[in-house]
Structure 1
Amino acid sequence: MDRLQDSAWQYVAEVLHSEDLPMLAAHALVDGHDSPALRELAGLPRRSDADEVRELYVQALRELDVHLPDEETAGRRLLVSLAFGLVQGGLSPKEVADRLSMTVAAHTQEETRFLSLAAEYSEWIGPDDLPAWEHDLQAAAQLSAASTDLGPGIHVPASRHD
C-alpha cells in the first residue's frame, strides 16, 4: 500500500500525529505525489500548529483523491496491523497490548479473539501466567493475520516513543 494511503487509516485511528505529517508529506513528494497543500505541508516545521497541520493534511489528501476511511475501518486496520506486527516479529506481545486504543475494531471472529486476548494484558499478570498469555496471543495473531482480507501490506504504525 502506498505510504500516503496507508497514512489515512493511521490518521483516523489516531496513531499518526500532527508532528509527523510534514515529514510524511515530504516523503510523499519524493514518492511522486504532488499538490499545493502537500507542498505547503512538507515545508512546515515539525512543531507547527497542530490544527494547521491537520487541516493541510486533510486538504492534501482531498487534492490527491485519497479518501479517509471511517473510524471502524481505520480501527480494524490498526488491529490487523498489530497482529501482523506480532506475527512478523516487529512487535512484542506487550507492545501489542500497549498500542491498543479506543479506535481498534474487530470484524471477524479471529480478530475478535486477538483483540480480546490483547486486552487481557495487565502489568499484574504473574510471571507464571505470562508465557501462556503470550503464546495464546501469538496464536490468535497468526489466525487473524492468515484470515484477514486486508493483506500483509498493512504497516505497523510507529510507537509514540520511536
Structure 2
Amino acid sequence: MLAAHALVDGCDSPALRELAGLSRGSDLDEIRERYVRALHELGIPLPDEETTGRRLLVDLASALTRGELSPVEVAGRLSMTVAARTPQETRFLSVAAHYSPWMPPHELPAWETALHTAAHTLTTSTPSDPRIPGATD
C-alpha cells in the first residue's frame, strides 16, 4: 500500500509500479528486491540500518500517541537490535523492552502509562525535518 500511495503522491518508476501491484502475501525477497530497485530508480538512497531503526522508533511512538497501535502492538513490532541514540529513543526502547506476555495484570497499566509517556516525549522531541534521521512526518 505504501508503494500505491507513493504513486498517487506523484512518485513513479517501473519498480514502484511493480511493487504497488504485489499482494500482501508476496515473497519477502521479491518485495525487498523491488523496493531497493524502486528507491534506486527514484534516486533515493537506501537508508542504513541505524537510520531505519531510529525511524521505526519514532514511527511506532507516533502511532501509539495517535491511538493507531496499542502498547502491546508497539512492543511486538520493536526489535531490540534497534540502535537508540538520544535519551528519548533509549527511554522509549527501554520501556517497551520491559513488556512480557507473562507480565502480571496489575503491572500492565503502569507499563502502558510509562510507554505512552516515553512515546509522547520521543515524538515531541524529534525534529520534523525529513532530512533528519528519525524525523516525524
For 1:60, give the aligned amino acid.
A
**Percent of aligned pairs with the same amino acid:** 66
SS at structure 2 position matched to 1:146: helix
Paired with 2:120 and 2:16, the residues of 1 have a C-alpha distance of 37
Written as runs of structure 1 = structure 2, the 5 A alignment for 1:35-114 is: 35-43=13-21, 49-114=27-92
CA displacement at 1:105 relative to structure 2: 2.4
Q: TM-score, normalised by structure 1?
A: 0.69
Match for residue 129 of structure 1 among 107, 119, 128: 107
Paired with 1:117 and 1:44, the residues of 2 have a C-alpha distance of 36
Decide whether the 8 Å contact of 1:97 with 1:119 is kept in 2: yes
Decide whether the 8 Å contact of 1:37 with 1:57 is kept in 2: yes
Specify every segment of 5 or more residues in structure 2 that has no aligned partner in the other structure, as ranges. 128-133
Written as runs of structure 1 = structure 2, the 5 A alignment for 1:9-24 is: 23-24=1-2
Paired with 1:82 and 1:99, the residues of 2 have a C-alpha distance of 8
Greater relative contact order (CA < 8 Å, ≥ 6 in sequence): 1
Q: TM-score, normalised by structure 2?
A: 0.80
Decide whether the 8 Å contact of 2:3 with 2:17 is kept in 1: yes
How many residue pairs get aligned? The number is 131
Alignment root-mean-square deviation, CA: 2.2
Paired with 1:82 and 1:43, the residues of 2 have a C-alpha distance of 26
For 2:16, give the aligned amino acid.
L
Q: Which moved more, 1:141-150 or 1:117-126?
A: 141-150
Decide whether the 8 Å contact of 1:76 with 1:104 is kept in 2: yes
Change (3 A) 1:70 1:126: same
